[in-house]
């Protein structure tokens, strides 16, 4: 079984705008009939376009600005009058906008965003917009839900013979070739991107890693992303791939997808390295801050102890400590003995004895050497 890496795994952005010109053999009546699966007889040429048996058409509707006449909501009448309004053989008879719709959405969600964009175009250029929403072709990619929006080139004017006024020249600057080069084209792409992303958010469409899907109308180069854009397969290439073969465009997309995957892995590894470096830097800064805080706290404690010591009495010497111990050993302590005040004068001292007047005593022993 061949690889399917090139197949998209989530909603993708695609908006294309083309001009329908009579010199290319195109008719607005035929285009409208085919896209809406309708029956329209072209009164200008007499040709009949019957596509009522065409399948795969999920919704059709005509959107008009405020004041749109009632006849404009009849598809056959609208496009026949539009054809009569342009007489030249090289006239540009319509603009067609093709939108890729997210296959992750259901039908009601896809219809909602399509009609919202159609109303924007109608009000923006004051023209009728014929909407047709198609399901994927059975021979193409089964995820290829898309919509065709066919725009008239003229606003309505009741005074005109056909009910249309002069052409809206602002639409002349809008084409697929100049879509990204004109201010109007960029405006149309930005508005569809906004509507599309809002719809994806309401539908809660997420990637495999749980993030909301967000699309961007800008190229990879404009976004600053080093990736290659894949090419559109088309009906023929899609049919070949679905039958198990490998079309030239399918093979090219596989190669592009493989190169993009290598770039994504390299970018992921680079981001991981940068995140690790940033985390280590933060840890280093926190460690430095903690060390500084601890140093300041220790210095503060030492300073406080020094100040307290200056305000305290000096430590007792060894002699003072010994005296204190001796005093505490007395019973009662000397400091606790009473010290009464004398109540009478002390007695006079006796006179000293006169040893010359005292009688002499004969010794009891009268031995030799004495006498």
Residue 61 belongs to domain spanning: 15-217
> Is 138 a residue whose pLDDT tops 60?
yes
pLDDT, residue 34, reads: 96
Tally of domains within the chain: 1
Using 50, 70 and 90 to split pLDDT, how confident is the model at 346? low
Minimal CA–CA distance to 53: which of 32, 72, 73, 39?
39
Using 50, 70 and 90 to split pLDDT, how confident is the model at 151? very high
Our CA dihedral for 244, 247, 249, 252, rounded to 10 degrees, sits at: 80
* Distance, C-alpha 288 to centroid of its chain: 32
CATH number at residue 117: 3.30.930.30
**In-domain check, residue 277:** no
Prediction pTM value:
0.61
**In-domain check, residue 261:** no
How many Å is the maximal CA-CA distance in the chain?
196
Q: Which of 4-8, 187-191, 329-333: highest mean pLDDT?
A: 187-191
pLDDT digits (tens, 9 = 90+) for 276-289: 888 888 888 777 77
- The β-bridge partners of 49 are 40
**In-domain check, residue 267:** no
**In-domain check, residue 325:** no
**In-domain check, residue 78:** yes
**In-domain check, residue 134:** yes
For 237, other C-beta atoms within 10 Å of its C-beta total: 22
**In-domain check, residue 131:** yes
**In-domain check, residue 312:** no
């Amino acid at each position: 079984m061949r690889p399917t890496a090139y197949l998209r795994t989530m909603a993708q952005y695609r908006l294309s705008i083309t001009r329908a010109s009579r010199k290319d053999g195109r008719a607005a009546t035929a285009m409208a009939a085919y896209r809406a699966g309708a029956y329209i007889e072209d009164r200008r040429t007499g040709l009949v376009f019957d596509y009522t048996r065409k399948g795969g058409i999920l919704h059709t509707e005509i959107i008009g600005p405020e004041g749109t006449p009632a006849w404009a909501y009849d598809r056959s009448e609208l496009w026949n009058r539009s054809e009569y309004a342009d007489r030249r053989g090289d006239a540009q008879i319509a603009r067609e906008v093709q939108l890729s719709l997210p296959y992750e959405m259901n039908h009601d969600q896809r219809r909602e965003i399509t009609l919202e964009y159609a109303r924007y175009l109608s009000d923006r250029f004051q023209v009728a917009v014929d909407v047709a929403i198609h399901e994927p072709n059975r021979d193409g990619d089964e995820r290829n839900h898309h919509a065709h929006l066919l725009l008239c080139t003229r606003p309505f004017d009741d005074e005109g013979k056909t009910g249309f006024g002069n052409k809206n020249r602002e639409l002349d600057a809008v084409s697929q070739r100049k879509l990204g080069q004109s201010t109007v084209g960029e405006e149309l792409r930005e508005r569809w991107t906004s509507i599309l992303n809002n719809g994806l958010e309401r539908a809660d469409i997420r990637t495999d890693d749980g993030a909301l899907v967000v699309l961007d109308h800008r190229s990879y180069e404009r976004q600053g992303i080093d990736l290659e854009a894949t090419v559109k397969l088309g009906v023929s290439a899609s049919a070949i791939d679905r039958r198990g073969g490998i079309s030239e465009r399918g093979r090219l997309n596989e190669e592009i997808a493989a190169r993009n995957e290598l770039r994504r892995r390299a970018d992921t590894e680079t981001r991981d390295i940068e995140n690790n470096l940033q985390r280590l830097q933060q840890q280093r800064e926190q460690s430095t801050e903690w060390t500084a805080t601890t140093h300041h706290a220790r210095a503060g404690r030492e300073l406080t102890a020094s100040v307290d010591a200056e305000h305290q009495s000096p430590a007792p010497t060894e002699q003072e400590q010994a005296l204190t111990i001796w005093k505490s050993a007395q019973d009662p302590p000397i400091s606790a003995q009473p010290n009464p005040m004398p109540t009478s004068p002390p007695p006079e001292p006796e006179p000293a004895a006169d040893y010359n007047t005292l009688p002499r005593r004969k010794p009891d022993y009268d031995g030799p050497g004495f006498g």
